[in-house]
Amino acid sequence: MIYYPLQTLKDMGIVDILIITSCQEQRRLFEQQLGDGSTFDLNLQYTVQESPGGIPEAFIIGELFIGISDVTLILGDNVIITNKKIKPLPNTIYTYKVKDPSSYGVAVLSETGDLIDVFEKPKTYISDNAIIGLYTFTREAVVIAKGLKPSKRNELEIVDLISELNIREGIEIEELDGFWFDCGNHNDLLDCANLVRAIEQRTNKIVGLYE
């Protein structure tokens, strides 16, 4: 799985990457597998999120790595196969129309495509624009993440960060042209595997990093 999000970042022109794992043993295994990233023309560094604290905590953990730069975050279980190159424009989130919005964070848009609000796994239908696990923000995301309060799940929520950043600087919406899989369950993982297999068997394209 890790090769897919890394390839997405590489395709976006991002080569300096911090991989955040859930424990030291996982970090050791990833580092053993990927090394410093030079095999793939990447510069990889590693760190650990000691306990689940929510997606925005990644910006806090990676503060020194981020420095004063813009930052792009991709979730490790997301597979993105696009028809055109994704440009990492500051303060951009990417959406994908889904059948069951209640399983995702969703964006509510105006008639002109501007962001009105974002909600985490709404129980009633408000929008079918799921927010995929790929975000490009200015460094203000680090500042906002530090000021967020944990939700009822005792985690910092990415929708809260997006909402606040939209107020401060504005958020742009890009609807993904291609395919997106949040491989958090067996059905999505199987669907993703079947598509990758079909692409690689029927075309000359390789999906994901390769040596």
Q: How far is CA 144 from CA 22, 58, 70, 151, 162, in A?
A: 23, 12, 14, 15, 9
pLDDT of residue 209: 76
Average of pLDDT values for 89-94?
Answer: 96
What percentage of the chain exceeds 90 in pLDDT? 87
> Which CATH number does the domain housing residue 87 bear?
3.90.550.10
CB 185 within 8 A of CB 100: no
Domain hosting 152: range is 3-95+134-202
Q: Rounded mean pLDDT of the chain?
A: 94
DSSP 44-111: EEEEE-SS---TTHHHHHTHHHHTTS-EEEE-TTEEEEESSPPP--SSEEEEEE-S-GGGSEEEEE-T
d(CA 158, CA 161): 5
Question: Would 105 be classed as within a structural domain?
Answer: no
Tens of pLDDT, residues 148-201: 999 998 999 999 999 999 999 999 999 999 999 999 889 989 999 999 999 999
More confident residue, 58 or 188: 58
Q: How many domains does the chain have?
A: 1
Question: Would 128 be classed as within a structural domain?
Answer: no
Instruction: Tell me the pTM.
Output: 0.91
